[in-house]
A and B are shown apart, each in its own frame.
Chain A
Amino acid sequence: MEIKREPVPRGARPTGQGQGEVEIDSSGLRVNTHDSKELLRGAELLGPTAPASMDGEELERYVHERVLTTTLEKAVSWGRSNSFFPLAFGLACCAMEQFQTAGPRMDIARFGFEAFRASPRQADLIILAGRVSIKMAPIIRRLYDQMLEPKWAISMGACCSSMGVFNNYALVPADKFMPIDVHVPGCPPRPESLMHGILKLRKMVQDDPDAGWRERYGAQGTEEILPGA
């Protein structure tokens, strides 16, 4: 990528104080060039692979091509979002479609979500696939509470979100008793829909939006830790 030196646009970050200059590259993107100190640090990060003879623009380009800076939080949420451990848990007919997402056609393993765990203590994603009866609700809430932070929940299908065709005395919508991060509509949703929901959740985890529903449902710090464990 060739970098053209152009005047600093209005409203850009002030230059000087070791902040580097703001420049416009050929594609119109704004690029922060590093001052010599940062360049050297970048070269240090690269270690012995950086040729000692380089400096100036050549070294700058070299570092740009090889060093990626980010925050630890972002790196961690990137890792989390690409390695959900869903709880192997089905409630009703939606579970059949849930199994399909792990099958070869949808192949959830492409995204790193294929490790369905049998214990809530090992899982960080619960997919409520099916209808929740009012007798089952406390059990599900307990499973959710047993999952360790960070944890997420997907409500799959109409029954679990709004009770769908079973809107009667026996059912309760999942939002009544636990925080749901993503609702997947459908009756039942096709595996593609569930996949879309999981990828939405992945985006949410990467962007780390704090919607505040955990506090509203009293669902923080609820992990059951056995005494002496």
Chain B
Amino acid sequence: MPDATGLELLAKELQESEGMGAEAILGTLYFRGHATLEAQPQRIRAVLGRLRERGYRSLMSVHGVDYYPHEPRLGVHYELLDMDKVDRVTVVVRVSTDAPDLDSVTPDGEDGKGWPTADHQEREIYDMFGVAFHGHPDMRRILMPEDYEGHPQRRDFPVGGEPVIFTYNEHESSGVTR
């Protein structure tokens, strides 16, 4: 785990590396011993690729977050691990609900190797939060039925499920045909 100083150095190194720029890393967060880099959404593949060269070769988890009511609302977290130094860093990108588009990190591309482990996890983020990953080999829902409407883990999604049908109101049930 880079410490607070190490995180700033890592951010600076990324910003100064080839093809990047100051805007590639939007910020850093060091909280309770955990280092987080906030990256520009368009540069996510490049940032992860550069970190892989730095030794963070395992993508342990990709997951979504809804930061409602803060904007941009949706976040995607990439948890990286350096297996040799047992060192972790988190990369966060934020996208808005109006244009929830990101480049998929799953496939190999001209800009470097992909992360095959992200395949199902990106599908889950698409399913639950509605972030569309461009270039993903199989961008479908993974948990909910394919004809399901809405993205249930967003915080403006209604909490309650189906209204419970008892004998007195069973005729309101969609299962009842009489």
Give chain A's interface residues, CB within 8 Å of chain B. 134-135, 162-163, 166-173, 175-178, 215-218
Contacts and interface: CB of A to CB of B under 8 A. Distances in A.
B159 A168 contact: yes
B176 A217 contact: yes
The binding surface of chain A is classed by DSSP as loop
A173 B177 contact: no
B174 interface: yes
A173 B145 contact: no
Given A135-B145, A216-B178, A176 B173 contact: yes
Given A176-B174, A216-B177, A135 B162 contact: no
Contacts of A215: 178
A167 B160 contact: yes
Interface in B50-90: none
Interface residues of B, number: 20
B170 interface: yes
B167 to A, nearest CB: 9
20 contacts: A135-B144, A162-B164, A163-B162, A167-B160, A169-B144, A169-B157, A169-B161, A170-B143, A170-B152, A171-B161, A171-B162, A172-B161, A172-B162, A173-B162, A173-B165, A175-B165, A175-B170, A176-B173, A215-B178, A216-B170
Interface string B147-168: 0100010000111111011000
B175 interface: yes
A167 B161 contact: yes
Nearest to A212: B178
Contacts of B170: 175, 216
Contacts of B145: 134-135
Contacts of A217: 175-177
A176 B175 contact: yes
B161 A178 contact: no
A24 B176 CA distance: 49
Please name the 8 residue pairs, one residue from A and one from B, whose CB atoms are nearest each other, closest first: A169-B152, A176-B175, A216-B178, A162-B164, A218-B177, A177-B175, A168-B161, A167-B161
